[in-house]
Amino acid sequence: MARVATGVDIGSRTNKYVRGQYKGGKFVLSDFAVAPHSSGSIAQAWSSAEAGFKLGLARVGLTGRDVNMRYTRVPRVPDWQLRKLMRFEVEEVGGSSGAAVASDFNLLPAMPEIEDEDIVLLALARESLLEEHQTGLAGAGGTLDAFSPCAVALYNAWTHFGVVEDETVLIANIGHENLDVILVRGPDLLFARNLTGGGRLFDDAIAERFGVSAQRAEELKIDLATLEPGARHRSADQEKASRAALAAGGQLLSLLQSTVMFCKSQVKISNLRVDRVLLCGGGAALAGLPKYLSSGLGVPVEPFDAFRVVDTSSLAPEAAEKLEEYKLEAVVALGLATMASDPDAYGIEILPAKLRARREFVGGTVWALAAGVAALAFLGWSAYSNKTALDAAKTELASLDSRLRRGRETHRKTEEHLKQAAALAVDASKLQAVAGSGAQLASLVEQIEAELPDGFWVESMASEWRFDEQMRIKRGEERPMVRINGRAREGIESISAALDGYVERLHKRFPNAALAWRPGASGDKFTLDFTLFAPPAPADAAAAPTAQ
């Protein structure tokens, strides 16, 4: 169920707060604030730049040197085994760094280039960083939902509020000191990364060129510097500032290019090609930056306006005006709020060890204990209330056991009788066939003597157990069959017609018989096969056989 939540992005120059609820496929924005500051630490940033409204449940973004995002290819294993593998990975990283770390992971969407393996995105953050943010959030009156990497929040802002098409897009959030970058293909996340280097690159370059303070350099950057290719400068100072910014622009361009190369290396997609680049964050507002990067990357570069599909009708006029001014800087905060509000959002939720243990206890252990107590109570009541039924069941069991023994003995004797009956049936069938073969032969001889046409005589007659597929007797199911080899006197006309007539009379005499006659090679000979033991003919079979 969607819930109201606040996304908090604590930057080195501004804090961004976005509060609202994701429901019905859109985000309804209820509060928004941007609080500029010049603090040198996270604790000072929290205390000196408040939101001005109650934060409530809050998702806080993480970026910078104390956040590490790693990629691991693993075979497709059950969830419990994957959690175990990631725990080993975290313990290895924590052991090598010598500092306590908190972590969470999630699978990247399946990729057609990779078969039988999953790619795991593992995010780690120093516990000390989380403690600073948690203390600041508590001082601001907020309740921690979770910490998430700003790059993952940027991905959720894209999937929920971007124009997602079948293309590969690089999206960069340019902060003052940090750069959060993601690579997406359609709706699928390919790569997420946080880097050191943002708008401060331009401030430092201008400060060095003009010999001024960082604050004054930032003012010159905003007022004078431009990266517009072929721009005509209004003054010598503007040209000087722009040339200084151009060197920093080259550094930023290299960071974006290295991200694509690093993605190819980490995720193993060798044919990756970026189709478009989107920029957000305070550093994206530098004049001419999109065109400069587009010239260097060879693809379109434009600002990422995630708020154009956000419902801002509930905002106060002052907050709406502030949002219009800072909407590029607030994209990550919007993604954080969406992650906390939408249960179906792609999530990485990092929690301090103590808070994670407390939530696991409340969410799992407490309920398990309660379930155990309830189960014990039920078992005690059930044992007491079912004692009488148990005694009755034992008595019934003894009775059924006696009946079962008698039934088994009866079953054994029945099986023996059935075996004997089957053996007798086989013997009876054989005796019947032997007796029947003699009667069959006698009946056929009698009929031959009475009705064999003039000019025909029998040369040989034999009764054998044989099979014949044409007479419906299959191999392995042989039956007594009489074979007559006969001859016709020379000069008899239409031997075939005479034999057909004789066989037809024979069939009328023995309607249940299977019989067939076959002419010999010389034309005056014939063979007649006859049996009374063939299986019944199909209903649509011919009334009488013909020559084969």
Q: CA 425: distance to chain centroid? A: 60
Q: What is the pLDDT of residue 370?
A: 66
Residue 53 to residue 64: CA distance in whole angstroms: 27
**CA pair distance 348, 456, nearest whole angstrom:** 102
Q: 318 and 237: one domain? A: no
Number of domains in the chain: 3
What's the pLDDT tens digit per position in 398-454? Answer: 888 888 888 888 898 888 889 888 888 777 767 766 777 788 888 888 888 888 888
345 sits in the region (left: phi over 0; alpha: psi -120 to 50; else beta) called beta
Q: Are 64 and 178 in contact (CB under 8 A)?
A: yes
CATH number of the domain within which 474 lies: 3.30.1360
Residues 130 and 219 in one domain: no
In a domain, 365, yes or no: no
Sign of CA dihedral 22, 24, 26, 28: negative
Residue 191 covered by a domain: yes
Same domain for 194 and 100: no
Instruction: State whether 276 and 336 are in the same domain.
Output: no
Whether 133 and 25 map to the same domain: the answer is: yes
Would residue 398 count as lying in a domain?
no
Measured from the Cβ of residue 299, the count of other Cβ atoms closer than 10 Å reads 16
What distance in Å separates the CA atoms of residue 204 and residue 70, rounded to the nearest whole number? 30
The answer to whether position 429 is within a domain reads no
The parent domain of residue 261 ranges over 163-303
Residues 150 and 2 in one domain: yes
Q: Which residue has the higher pLDDT, 349 or 375?
A: 349
Determine, yes or no, domain membership for 403.
no
Are both 321 and 259 inside the same structural domain?
no
Does 404 fall in a domain? no
Q: Per-residue DSSP letters for 324-349?
A: HHHTTTTHHHHHHHHHHH-TTS----
State the CATH number of the domain containing residue 95. Answer: 3.30.420.40
Are residues 20 and 149 located together in one domain of the fold?
A: yes
Q: What is the pLDDT of residue 293?
A: 96
Q: Are residues 77 and 109 in the same domain?
A: yes
Q: Rounded to two decimals, what is the model's pTM?
A: 0.67
pLDDT over threshold 80, residue 138: yes
Q: Which of 246, 281, 303 corresponds to the end of one domain? A: 303
Does position 319 have pLDDT exceeding 70, yes or no?
A: yes
- Looking at residue 366, its pLDDT comes to 53
**Other C-beta atoms within 10 Å of 224: how many?**
21
Q: What is the pLDDT of residue 179?
A: 95
What confidence score (pLDDT) does residue 446 get?
Answer: 84
CA–CA distance from 223 to each of 27, 36, 291 (Å)? 34, 18, 18
Amino acid at 421: A
Which range has the worst mean pLDDT, 235-249, 344-358, 513-527?
513-527
Q: Indicate the pLDDT class of residue 154, thresholds 50, 70 and 90.
A: very high
Distance (Å, whole) CA 486 – CA 480: 20
Residue 388 lies in a domain: no
